[in-house]
Amino acid sequence: MKLKYNPISFVLEKSDETTKLDLLEFLGLLHLSQAKELFLDLLKTQMADGGFPSRSNPKIAGIRETCRTSILLQRCGIPVDKLNIQAAVNFLLEHQRENGGWSENPELSIPKEIVGLSNETSVTWITADVISLLRKVGLGYEKACLRALSWLRECQCEDGGWFMFEGSGFEGSDPDSTARITFLMKEVYGENDAVYLKGKRLTEKSLDKVAEDAERGFYMGPNGEKRTNDIYHLTHLFLSPLVDTQERIESCCDLNDKRIKKIMRAIANTQCGDGGWRPFWSNESDPIYTVLALKLLTWTSTIKAEELKAYYRAH
């Protein structure tokens, strides 16, 4: 399958340094001078407390941004014992909550339109992100990581899923958080783990639903409104921006599954004319979700990386 429009020019022209670096790392182009400059520029944004600036308020470090930027820097080759990574990890550990989870930085004011975050109570998917980072830097068996894992396991709902955070205002489990945590449980405890298997059964049901939506071209929103398929809906069971890798896809996806193929075709078909992809909360294409779409399409062998590199060379 070939894409209708050039997505690389859109990302390079519309995204911030972090997203551009994420794209070049994914394409295997870290040897380029542009990538090296982006890498150094990203390091310079690290704040005195060890965190990285929040997207909603760049004057304050965000838990989400600190975690995900640190994972990106590691993928770009920075050693885990470098001061930058150590400072970021220390910042995160200082913000761990008493129950073992992580919320967003309490110093941040969270805009009302961002419904998946809390700065007052632990957030399941942020906690999963931090656990992934701690495991990558060799702290997977330390007390902080084990406490976080224990909290997540205690939070599993009767249906096998997870909520975003207590008091989120949404009924039942959140499919996005559930998929993220389910496969974290597989990575940590193995494919025979009871918590993983319970989560997987619910995630399989969610996958059935998204595949059905992919085929018919729309889905029903939480308030019963009909929505045209968008990139968030089609990808939320598979990847999170900056955090996930090709190994996650290989672990959680059977590439011969007809449901996966339907969803990948729908992703390709929802590409916007500017080359990007649009999530439901925006009227415009989003560079972050465009890179996520390209990763998913490439790692499922729907499109070829060489096609994307050719777009880069032509830019």
187 pLDDT tier (thresholds 50, 70, 90): very high
Q: Is the pLDDT of residue 236 over 70?
A: yes
User: What string of DSSP letters covers 45-60?
Assistant: T--TTS-EE-SS-TTS
Mean pLDDT of 84-98: 97
| Sequence spans of domains, the chain | 1-15+228-315
SS (H, E, C) 223-269: CCCEEECCHHHHHCCCCCCCCCCHHHHHHHCCCCCHHHHHHHHHHHH
Q: What is the pLDDT of residue 243?
A: 78
Confidence class for position 229, pLDDT limits 50, 70, 90: very high
pLDDT in tens, 96-141: 999 999 999 999 998 777 778 899 999 999 999 999 999 999 999 9
* Cβ pair 88, 50 in contact under 8 A: yes
E-only strand ranges, the chain: 52-53, 61-62, 218-220, 226-228
pTM: 0.93
Residues 87 and 181: their CA atoms lie apart, in Å, by: 26
Burial 286-309 (b: 16+ CB within 10 A, else e): bbbbbbbbbbbbbbbebbeeebbe
CB atoms within 10 A of CB 254: 9
DSSP class of 110: P
What mean pLDDT is reported for the chain?
A: 93
**Beta strand pairing status for 218-220 and 52-53?**
unpaired
Split at pLDDT 50, 70, 90, the class of 62 is very high
CB 38 within 8 Å of CB 27: no
- CA–CA dist 197, 33 (Å, integer): 45
Residue written as token pair 């896809």 = 249
Q: How many angstroms separate the CA atoms of 228 and 263, rounded?
A: 14
Weakest mean pLDDT among 16-20, 75-79, 172-176, 217-221: 172-176
pLDDT, tens digit, 9 for 90 and up, residues 40-56: 999 999 999 999 999 98
Residue 167 has pLDDT above 70, yes or no: no
pLDDT digits (tens, 9 = 90+) for 284-303: 999 999 999 999 999 999 99
Collapsed DSSP state (helix, strand, coil) of residue 165: strand
Whole-angstrom distance, CA of residue 140 vs CA of residue 188: 9
Asked whether the predicted pLDDT for residue 168 surpasses 70, the reply is: no
Q: Which residues make beta-bridge pairs with 121?
A: none
* Average pLDDT value for residue range 218-227: 89
Identify the band that residue 77 occupies on the pLDDT scale cut at 50, 70 and 90.
Answer: very high
Burial 140-159 (b: 16+ CB within 10 A, else e): eeeebbebbbebbbebbeee
